[in-house]
Chain A
């Protein structure tokens, strides 16, 4: 039984503790591999085939193919790792942030310009 943590009530936040890290280890390992140019080329050439080199679950694989960044966190990913997929696509942290927040990129940027987003209810 994983211990209760005092950060579990912070909504919309996925902390990379031991439980999370075990779940996402191979997913994050795939993301880490994108630090090498030759791996980025192999991923671009055939995404599904490249993902099969890693011991990730079917659900994790689909979330990568779908670029579903919230799902990737829920399946054990960490943003510094999963963002490497986005950077490879030419997406920015604001594109990814908006998607995870469930709002448009324009609205996300505007809320930041207005002083930053607040806690979610």
Chain B
């Protein structure tokens, strides 16, 4: 039986990817952040999941405002790297896990989560930066990937509670899959940041630091926050944190919070990472 072995929450700030791509991870500005990634990389190498379900949001890369899926899942064999306006990142293409992805579609739609099905999808920094954080610069990614894109740009975004429930449905879907895959689920984005307006540069470290433990011990409390609560507390782009609730929902209630790391700022963002061990 397929099983979820880990849940990972991580920021996906483009500048973090750029620091890796341009060899700046030992620079004084970046070193404290990347030092904290080292234990996570070791943990991932040891756990060695076969498949990663990467919950992310597209940033005006593959989806325009002409049609906005709330939840979209990539079922392709391969996902090219998107040109976000300044050329695609020079990272390996992402290999899919189409059989498992189609099973998720079947199971989730039967479970009343009406997913948008993507047979062609270019993936942006929201998906590739977390892979770089966890795997550095391999020739090819050591994991198959199922992209799960969530709309957090065009309002109304899904509610935090809906995200958590989708995670729970993903857990049920995986339990009904006959394969033997060992699966990690990544909730990406956040933590607090606001890129736009006169409030640009807003960060709330207290909210971010408390978020890890709330996610572990009392995720229900995070599902009760409205989208406006997220904007107020974590900044307009910090609403990405609802993606971490999909990850948490897919884990056992008593999954162990094995590691956390927090550093601010990474560019304009409070950057966080956490690992839940669900083995």
- On A, residues with C-beta under 8 Å from B are 5-7, 10-18, 21, 25, 28-29, 31-32, 34-37, 40, 70, 73, 78-81, 83-84, 87-88, 92-94, 96-98, 100-102, 108, 111-113, 115-120
Distance in Å from the Cβ of A49 to the closest Cβ of chain B?
Answer: 20
Distance in Å from the Cβ of A75 to the closest Cβ of chain B?
Answer: 13
Assess whether B195 is in contact with A13, with CB atoms less than 8 Å apart. no
CB < 8 Å neighbour of B153 from A40, A78, A92, A115 = A78
- Interface contacts (Cβ under 8 Å), in number, total 140
Assess whether A35 is in contact with B85, with CB atoms less than 8 Å apart. yes
- 11 A-B pairs besides A10-B228, A32-B64, A112-B264 with CB distance below 8 A are A13-B196, A14-B196, A79-B196, A79-B237, A87-B85, A92-B267, A96-B200, A101-B199, A113-B265, A117-B201, A117-B203
Cα–Cα distance between A16 and B192 once the two chains are bound (Å): 18
Assess whether B203 is in contact with A115, with CB atoms less than 8 Å apart. yes
Assess whether A6 is in contact with B226, with CB atoms less than 8 Å apart. yes
Q: Is the interface of B mostly helix, strand, loop or mixed?
A: loop
CB < 8 Å neighbour of A37 from B83, B204, B205 = B83
Distance in Å from the Cβ of A14 to the closest Cβ of chain B?
Answer: 5
- On B, residues with C-beta under 8 Å from A are 14-15, 59-61, 64-65, 82-87, 153-156, 192, 194-205, 226-228, 231-232, 236-237, 264-265, 267-268, 270
CB < 8 Å neighbour of B86 from A13, A32, A88 = A88
Assess whether A102 is in contact with B198, with CB atoms less than 8 Å apart. yes
Cα–Cα distance between A87 and B237 once the two chains are bound (Å): 18
Q: Which residue of A lies closest to B203 (CB)?
A: A116
Q: Which residue of A lies closest to B204 (CB)?
A: A116
Assess whether A15 is in contact with B236, with CB atoms less than 8 Å apart. yes
Distance in Å from the Cβ of B231 to the closest Cβ of chain A?
Answer: 6
